[in-house]
Chains A and B, each alone.
Chain A
Amino acid sequence: MLSFVCRLFAALSVSLALSLPAYALETLRVLAWPGYADSDLVKVFEKRFDVHVEVSFINSDDVLREKISTNHGGDFDVFAANTAEMRHYISRNLIVPLQLSNIPNTAHQLPRFRDLQAIPGITRKGQVFAIPYTFSEMGLIYDRKQFRKAPTSMAAMWDSRYKGRVLAFDDSSHNFSIASMLLGGSPFQIEDGQFNRVAEHLVELRRNVLTFYTLPEESVRLFRKHSAALLFANYGSQQLKLLRDAGADVGYVIPREGALAWLDCWAITRGVKNQRLAESWINYTLEASVSGELTRRQGLANTIEASPLAGNSDKIIWLKPVENAQRRKVLWSHIISGDLPEKFLAP
C-alpha cells in the first residue's frame, strides 16, 4: 500500500514538473477599472509577448490612490486613472515619464489626444507621464419635442421657460465648474471673490430645475415621468442610450462653453519591473481592435475612433483638480438643502 502511494506521488511529481514551463514567465501587473482589461484580450497580449499578465481591478479613485501609494508603486507596473488624479501621482513621484517611441500606436490616436501638452495634468516639464485611453464627456440631453432647435449653451438649464423641466446632477464640483464657466470664470479655479456669485447662480439653478438626480436610472425615470426638457448628462453616452432604450425622443449636444469630461489614461509606476513591457501593454491597448472592443463592450468612447457624440471640433474640457473641493462641497450642501442665499452667503 505504502509503495503504491509512493509510486503515485512520484508519478504526480513528474507530471507536475513536466507541465511547468522550463523557466518562470515574466509577469506584468496591471491595475485597472472593470472592462479595461478583459481576459480574452489579455490572453492575446500574453501570447504575443510570452509573458504572464496579472490583472487587478479597482472601483474608486480612493482605492486606486491607496493601492499605488503602497510600496511606493512597487505592487503594480501599469494602471489607469483620470486626468484630475494624475497630478497627485506626479507630484508624489509615484509614476515615471514614458518613452513615446515605445508606444507607436499613439500616432493613430485622434488629434485631440495627440496634443498631450493640451491635456491637463499628464505632462510636466515636457515629460509625458500618461497616455489617454478612454473618456466620457458630460453634454446636454434634450427632448426633441420641446426644443425646436437644439440648445447651444449650458445656460438653457437656467432658462425660466423650462422651469421645473430641467434635470441637473447632484454634484458640488461639476455644478460649480459649469456655473463659473457660464459667469465667464474658470471652471476649476474660482477666485475667492467670485464664490458668492457662483453660489447664488446655483441657487437660481435650484429654483429652475425639477430636481438634482444621482443615478442614471433615476434620471431616466424622472425624465420620463415629468416630461423633462433638458438633462445634464453626467454619465454621457451611457445615459443617452438608456433614455433612447426607454423610448425617449432625445438629442445630445456639446454646449458651446464646452463639456466637462473625464479622461482615463495609462501610467507606469515608479516600481515598474520592466518599463518596456509596460509600455508595450499601453501600446497594445491602443490598437484599433482592442480600443474598439472597449467601446463595443463598455459603451465608452476610445481615443482611436471618432465618437459619434462628441465631434472633433467640439470643445471638451478635461477634468482638473479644483481650487478647493471642500469649499464647493460645503456650499453645495447649503444649496441642495434649500437654504436661502442670505443665510449661508457671507455679505
Chain B
Amino acid sequence: MRFPDLMKLGISFKLGILLATFGILATSLSGYYFYTSSRDMLTSAAERDLLTATQVVGRNMKIIIDVIAEDAQLLAAIPLASNVFSSADELTAERDKKLLADTFTAMLSAHPEYFQIRLISTSQHGLELVRVDRNGKRMTRVLAGNLQEKAHYPYVFDTFRLARGDIYLSDISINHEKGAHSGLNKPTVTVSTPVIARNGKRLGLIVINIDLNGLSKILKGNLPSSYQLYLSNQWGDFLIHPDDTQTFGFDQGKRILIQDSFEPVSALVQGKGMNVVMNIDEGPQKQAGHVAAFVRLPFGDTIEKRFVILGLAQPLENITRETSRLSFDTIKIILAFSGLALILSALVSRIVTGPLNAMVRAINRFSKERVISTLPLNRNDEFGLLSRSFHDMQTEIMAHLSELNESRKALDHLARHDTLTGLPNRRMFFDRLEHAIATSRRSGKKLAVLFVDMDSFKEINDTFGHAVGDRVLINVAILLKSAMREADTVARLGGDEFVILLDTIDDPRHVKTIVLKLHDLFQNTMQIDGRDLQVHASIGVAIFPRDGKDADELMQYSDQAMYNSKKVGGNTSSFKAFVPEE
C-alpha cells in the first residue's frame, strides 16, 4: 500500500505546487505591475492636481488684484477726488480733503490687506495731497508737512502716463518710504490709477498700497496647511517663501533666486513655457521631498511683459501616503489571490489525480485478483482513452490467461494419462495407489491391485500390425473400465500391461468376483476391422495389507502373481498368497 500512497502524494503535490507557484507568480507580477502603474498614475495625478491648484491660486491672486484695482478706479472716479484739485478756497479744499480722507479710512477699515491709500498730485514733484496710513489698529491721516514728494517713484511717474481707468501695478518690493507707519519695511505692491478731470487734464493719481503678507495669507487661506506658497518676481527673486529670511534678498544686496532652489523654474524665468511641475526627490535643500508646481503669471503692464512666478509645494509624503495605502491594498489582493490559487491548484490537482488514483487501484486489483474494475470508459478526454486502452489490455490478458490455463490443464492431463487409451498412466496410478493405501491405513479397510497383461499380444501386433494392436489395447481399456466401479482406477502401465486399483474392499470375496468377471469378459472375441480376435489376459492380484505394505510391494507381488498366471498358460488369474474360499 505504501507505493501508491507515495505516488498519489507525489503527483498531486508536484502538480499542486506547480499550479500554485504559477498562480502566485502571475498574481504577484500583475499586482506589482498594477502597483507601479497606479503609483505613477497617482503621482502624476497629484502633480496635475498641484498644478491646477497653483493655477487656481494664481487666478485668485488676479481676482484679488482686480478687486483692488476696482477700488482704486472707484476712488479715482468719485467727484471728491477731482474736487480736491479745484477747490475754490483753502477752507473748502481742506473740507474736501477731509471727506476724501474719511473715505480712504473707511476703505482701509474694510480691507485689512490695504496698508495705505493716497491721492497724489501730478504737480509739486508728486506731492501727496490726501494720505491715510494703517497704523497698527488705527488709521492715521498724514497731515500737511509730513506729506511727501513721490514723483520719482515708478508707481507715480508710470501712472501719470496712463489713460482714465487704466491700472498700474508696481513691482513687489520692501517699502522703505519713511513714515509709512504699518507698511514701513514691509513687502508691498501698489495699485494705482490716474485721476483725470472732465476736460481730460491729468490731476493726480490714487495709490493703494497692499500688504503682500496679507495677500499671501488670503491666498494660503484656502490651501491645506502642508502646502508651501512661493512667489518670485520675473528675475526669480523670492518674494514669498515659507522661510521669510529667504525673501527680498535683493533688498539686502544679495540675490536669493527661485531658480537656485528649483532649477527647472529657470525656464520660466527665461520666459520659456507657462508652468513647470517637479518632483524634488532628494537633496540637501529644504525643498527636498516635495512636489512643486510653478506657473508664470502676467503681472501688471502687458506691454512690458512683466510677470511673477507663483509656486506651490506639497510634501511627497501626502502622495506616498496614498501610494503606501495602495501598496498595502495590492499586497492584500496578492495574498487573497495567492490563497485562491493555492485552493484552486489543490482542487485541480485532485481532479486530475483522482482518475489516475482510480486507475492505479484498478490495476492493483486486477494484478491481485484478476478482477476488471469499472473505469470511466465513457469519458471523452485522455482519461477515457487511457481507461479504454487499459480495459482492452485487461480483457486481452484475461483471454491469454485462460488459454494458458487450458494448455496447462491439457499438459497436466497428458502427464498423468496414457495417450492411446486415455487411461491414467503409471505415475497417476501410483499417486492414487499411495493415496488409497494411506486412506486404508486409517480406515483399516483393504484394497487390491490387479495386474493385467495381454497374452500373445506380440503375435497380434506382428500378425495384424500396430494399428490393430492399438485398437486392441483401446478395446481392452474400454473393457476393463466397463467392468470396474466408478471409484476404481484402471491404468495402463505401458505395452500390453494394465493395472487396476480396487479401492476400499469391504469383502475380500468381492475381489474374486471381479477377477472372474474380467476373466469372463476376456473370453469374448473382439470385433476389430471386421476381424474376430481372441484376446486373453493373465491377471495377478495383490491385496493390501496382506500381500504388501506399500505400493511398490503391492505392484511387485501383483506382477509376480500375474507371472504365475502366465506360467500356468495364461488366460487365468493368480493371487499372491491368499486364495479366498469359494
Asked if B431 is an interface residue, CB under 8 A from chain A, the answer is: no
Interface positions of B from 371 to 429, Cβ below 8 Å from A: none
A211 touches B149 (CB 8 A): no
Contact across chains for A338 and B152 when beta carbons are under 8 A apart: yes
In the complex the two chains form, is B157's CB within 8 Å of A210's CB?
yes
Whether A337 and B253, one on each chain, are in contact in the complex, defined by CB atoms closer than 8 angstroms, is no
Question: With A337-B148, A338-B148 as given contacts, are A211 and B154 in contact (CB-CB < 8 Å)?
Answer: yes
Is the C-beta of B201 less than 8 angstroms from some C-beta in chain A?
no
- Give the residues in chain A near B153, CB-CB below 8 Å: 211, 338
Q: Cβ of B157 and Cβ of A339 under 8 Å apart?
A: no
B150 within 8 A of A: yes
Contact A337 B157 (CB under 8 A): no
A343 and B147 CA atoms in complex are apart in Å by 10
Q: Does B146 contact A (CB under 8 A)?
A: yes
**Residues of B within 8 Å of A, CB-based: how many?**
23
Do A338 and B126 touch across chains, with their CB atoms under 8 A apart?
yes
B235 & A209 in contact (Cβ 8 Å cutoff): no
The answer to whether A206 touches B149 (Cβ under 8 A) is: yes
Which of chain B's residues have a CB closer than 8 A to the CB of A334?
178
Check A337 against B176 for contact (C-beta < 8 Å).
Answer: yes
Please state if A333 and B176 are interface contacts (CB–CB under 8 Å).
yes
Asked whether any CB of chain B lies closer than 8 Å to the CB of A33, the reply is: no
Q: Which residue of B lies closest to A170 (CB)?
A: B176
Q: Are A60's CB and B253's CB within 8 A?
A: yes
Q: How far is the CA of A215 from the CA of B178 in the complex (A)?
A: 21
Instruction: Report the separation of the CA atoms of residues A217 and B306 in the bound assembly, to the nearest whole angstrom.
Output: 13
Q: Given A207-B151, A340-B149 in contact, is the A59-B179 Cβ separation under 8 Å?
A: no
Q: What's the Cα separation between A334 and B180 when bound, in Å?
A: 12
- The residue on B at minimum CB distance from A337 is B178
Across-interface contacts of A221 in B (CB, < 8 A): 304
Enumerate chain A residues within 8 angstroms of B304, measured Cβ to Cβ: 221, 225
B321 near A: Cβ within 8 Å? Answer: no
| Cross-chain contact of B157 among A211, A212, A214, A333 (Cβ < 8 A) | A211
Any chain B CB within 8 A of the CB of A164?
A: yes
Q: Which residues of A contact B179 (CB under 8 A)?
A: 337, 339
Q: A222–B152 Cα gap in the complex (Å)?
A: 12
Q: Chain B 175-212, CB within 8 Å of chain A: the 1/0 string? A: 01111000000000000000000000000000000000
Whether A336 contacts B176 by the Cβ 8 Å rule is: yes
What CA separation (Å) do A59 and B153 show in the bound complex? 29
Query: In chain B between 230 and 256, which residues have their CB closer than 8 angstroms to a CB of chain A?
Result: 235, 250, 253-254
A344 to chain B, nearest CB (A): 9
Please name all residues of chain B whose beta carbon is closer than 8 Å to the beta carbon of A339 when the two chains form the complex.
148-149, 178-179
* Distance (whole angstroms) from the CB of B301 to the closest CB of chain A: 9
Cβ contacts under 8 Å, A207 to chain B: 125, 149, 151-152
Q: In this assembly, does B145 line the interface, its C-beta being within 8 Å of a C-beta of chain A?
A: yes
* A214 vs B174: C-alpha distance when bound (angstroms): 13
B234 to chain A: closest residue by CB: A217
Are B150 and A338 closer than 8 Å at their CB atoms?
yes
- 1/0 per residue, CB under 8 A from B, across A133-164: the answer is 00000000000000000000000000000001
CA distance A340 to B178 in the complex (A): 12
Q: Is B178 a contact partner of A209 (Cβ separation < 8 A)?
A: no
Is the beta-carbon distance between A212 and B146 smaller than 8 angstroms?
Answer: no
Type the 1/0 row for A208-247, where 1 means its CB is closer than 8 Å to any CB of B. 0111101101000110011000000000000000000000
**B152 and A212: CB pair below 8 A?**
yes
In chain B between 134 and 162, which residues have their CB closer than 8 angstroms to a CB of chain A?
A: 145-154, 157
* A337: B residues at CB distance < 8 A: 148, 176-179
How far apart are A157's CB and chain B's nearest CB, in angstroms? 13
A215: shortest Cβ distance to chain B, in Å? Answer: 7
Check if A333 sits within 8 Å of B253, measured CB to CB: no
Complex CA gap A330/B147 in Å reads 18
* Docked CA distance A209–B126 (Å): 12
Taking a contact as CB atoms closer than 8 A, the residue among B146, B152, B177 that contacts A209 in the complex is: B152
A333 to B153, CA, bound (A): 14
Indicate the member of A225, A226, A338, A339 with the most B CB atoms within 10 Å: A338
Query: Which residue from chain B places its CB closest to the CB of A221 in the assembled complex?
Result: B304
State in angstroms the CA–CA spacing of A209 and B151 once bound together.
9
Q: Mark A306-347, 1 if CB is under 8 A from B, else 0.
A: 000000000000000000000000000110111110010000
Q: Which residues of B contact A (CB under 8 A)?
A: 125-126, 128, 145-154, 157, 176-179, 235, 250, 253-254, 304
Closest 7 CB pairs of A and B: A338-B148, A337-B178, A338-B149, A337-B177, A211-B152, A338-B150, A207-B125
Task: Jot down 21 A-B pairs with beta carbons below 8 A, ordered by A.
Answer: A60-B253, A164-B157, A206-B125, A207-B149, A209-B152, A210-B152, A211-B157, A215-B235, A226-B157, A333-B176, A334-B178, A336-B177, A337-B178, A338-B128, A338-B148, A338-B150, A338-B151, A338-B152, A338-B177, A339-B179, A343-B145
19 extra A-B contacts, CB within 8 A, seeds A338-B151, A340-B147: A60-B253, A206-B125, A207-B125, A207-B149, A209-B152, A210-B152, A211-B152, A215-B235, A221-B304, A222-B154, A225-B304, A338-B125, A338-B149, A338-B150, A338-B152, A339-B178, A340-B145, A340-B148, A340-B149
